A = this chain, B = another copy of it.
Amino acid sequence: MNLSFLLTQGIPTSLALAVVGLAFAILLIRNVMGASAGNEKMAEIGGAIQQGAKAYLNRQIRAVSLIAVVIFVAVYFIRGGLASAGFVVGAVCSLVAGYIGMMVAVRANVRTAWAARIGAHPALKIAFNGGAVTGLLVVALGLLSVGLFFLVVEKMYSTKASIDALIGLALGSSLISVFARLGGGIYTKAADVGADLVGKIEQNLNEDDPRNPATIADNVGDNVGDCAGMAADVFETYAVSLIGALFVGHLTAPEGNHAVLVYPFVLCGLSIIASLLGIGWVNFVKQKATPALVGGVAVSGIVAAILFKFATSAIFTAPVTMAGIAVTPSALFYCTLIGLALTFAVVWITNYFTSTAHNPVRRIAKASETGHATNIIAGISVGHHATLLPVLCIAASIWTCWDLAGLYGIAIAVVSMLSLSGIIISLDAFGPITDNAGGIAVMSGLPEDVRKITDELDAVGNTMKAVTKGYAIASAGLAAMVLFGSYVEELKSFLKLDEVVFDLMNPKVIIGMFIGGLLPYLFTAFGMDAVGSAAGAVVLEVRRQIALKPGILNGTEKPEYGQCVDIVTKAALQQMIVPALLPIVFVVGVAFLGKEALGGLLIGTIVTGLFVGIAMTSAGGAWDNAKKYVEEGNHGGKGSFAHAAAVTGDTVGDPYKDTSGPAVNPMIKVVNVLAILVIPLFFK
């Protein structure tokens, strides 16, 4: 295969592949929308969910826009017009990816429920394709926004100007995704926790019982949190990793070497082909849900690896000397393999810690027999244990990639890892769609066997959601390391220094690390607070409605769903502001202490952020499935003492795994991007 054109035309080629991805996303939208949306009752419920989700997202955009304008102006003054234009591009694309993905998801849910009347595979297809729309949008938009912006600015000005301006794009996407993750996360879990506390525990109602006034808010939450929030988050990691690779390539390779800039784009472009094949696999190979989905990911991974091999040989014909290290083509190819391998390793590990088939979840379920407290103790312990293997894998990847190709090698591994986002997010977004489908089936009174099918798909969706969180945090950690390297290289370049040392014996570095280590702790604390207090407000509202209209409980009176939707919408918007602004306050505050302190801050945030993120998402997933395991009839099953304890664990796990934990990912990158951004302001 003669691919030598890739060196000169690699970026346009990758953009063309992104357009192909976009075209397939539109095809999938048509495919999903072509399915029947079911009966009138379903349309009513689906419409309420759509309306709530749209209303929330619109209000979120308004709230964020105000802050974005301020930051836009700041970026303009610090980094000039190009960077501020990049900021707008990054912010808008991040929003669009989340928005469209969510709008498809809220339409796929009713259709999945209806298709489940026919069978499991038709339902799986619609739910998965609904999710795949988000997956393809994220990678296509990510690649197009970074690539077009880079090419246009390079053409108008210079490569250097273009790379410099990308910092704006990175900040725009990171900032939006912090808000989307936090706001969406607070929304979904406040509604979920509130609905469960009063519905399941006090009134003994089932999940999604239409008599629960918070049930629509709960379903809206799945979409604004798990769809829109996740999409913005991974869009950001994807775009920022690509930009990080460009930074590192540009700053460390010999001037004028274009191959190191083309390469990450080509990896991303080729992965779109790999993702499309994976999506095709899930659609056309009729299997049960789990093997079909796992097969899709495996196909994507294998195809990507093969394509990467050819692309690497085509783009690099000789070693490149970067930061003093001679980097060979095969070394770079091995780095892409490490990225793919890390993806599979983290997915496997997270699955071990969060699936009902393995010891950790079963241990939590068993601990529920002795009560609420032992369930919680066991869950927290599982979260802590779950940090071991991912962190060791990340450390091993850093070590090997550095040895092979220095900082650029790590950057390439991250790009390779994230190039699979297309298929990985398809799995993730599949979760909330089936979750909603189940809710709609119950609320609209579809036959029992429909609910059975959606329940099965929902269980698969839960595991997929858990494992993609492991993927998101591991890739975020590695991407943040690349950004830290970019910060250092940018400092050297800006201050015209041969070396900047961040020595652990320098007290400024240590102080920076302590303060940086604080950020994930404070940030997650605010997230938990927000969910706790908003959920409390939902509980009070539901109790109020039931007291006012006792007919709600026997189905003779209709609850006011809108009230609960309104409460969580307001709470989420209000309470996302302070934590989302924390990174700005910390970075600017510590920048006054000097560049060494700021470097320490970045690493401190990455280190504790990685642990907090992995521990929280793993514990949350494990609690969730421990409850499911008990509900399957173990340790007394539904209604038992152990079940009550397991529900408590699940509820505590909700903000762990869906609000605070995952929001750490974009946060640690915002911090790093901000640090790069403010270099000209503070260090002269």
Contact = CB atoms under 8 A, between A and B. Distances in A.
Contact of A607 (B382, B392, B607): B607
A377 B376 CA distance: 11
B391 A514 contact: yes
A44 interface: no
Interface residues of A, number: 73
A395 B655 contact: no
Given A398-B511, A510-B603, A539-B370, A388 B522 contact: yes
A92 B370 CA distance: 39
Interface stretch (A148-156, A430-438, A498-506): A498-506
A241 interface: no
A453 B197 CA distance: 39
Contacts of A599: 504
Given A193-B373, A374-B197, A648-B372, A394 B514 contact: yes
Interface in A421-443: none
Given A372-B648, A374-B193, A391 B515 contact: yes
A380 interface: yes
A600 interface: yes
A365 interface: no
Interface stretch (A7-15, A58-66, A77-85, A528-536): A528-536
A399 B513 CA distance: 13
Contacts of A102: none
B608 A607 contact: yes
Contact of A611 (B502, B521, B532): B521
A515 B392 contact: yes
Nearest to A616: B380
Interface string A532-551: 10011001000000000000
Dominant secondary structure at the A interface: helix
Contact of A373 (B394, B481, B507, B651): B651
Contact of A398 (B197, B383, B392, B507): B507
Instruction: Tell me how many chains of this kind the complex includes.
Output: 2
B372 A531 contact: no
Given A485-B505, A507-B398, A511-B395, A197 B532 contact: no
A610 B513 CA distance: 12
Given A402-B507, A603-B504, A525 B385 contact: yes
A113 interface: no
Interface string A586-599: 00000000000001
Contacts of A608: 517, 607-608, 611
Contacts of A503: 501-503
Contacts of A371: 197, 201, 539, 648, 651
Given A385-B521, A399-B511, 17 more contacts: A193-B377, A197-B370, A370-B535, A371-B648, A380-B525, A382-B525, A384-B522, A399-B507, A484-B504, A502-B504, A502-B505, A504-B603, A513-B603, A513-B607, A514-B607, A517-B611, A607-B608
7 contacts: A197-B374, A373-B652, A395-B510, A395-B511, A395-B514, A488-B504, A608-B608
A543 to B, nearest CB: 10
B381 A528 contact: yes
Contacts of A647: 373
B510 A391 contact: no
A278 interface: no
Which 6 residue pairs spanning A and B have beta carbons closest together? A384-B525, A373-B651, A502-B504, A381-B528, A402-B507, A395-B511
A536 to B, nearest CB: 5
Query: Which of A201, A505, A535 has the most CB atoms of chain B within a 10 A radius of its CB?
Result: A505
Interface in A123-151: none
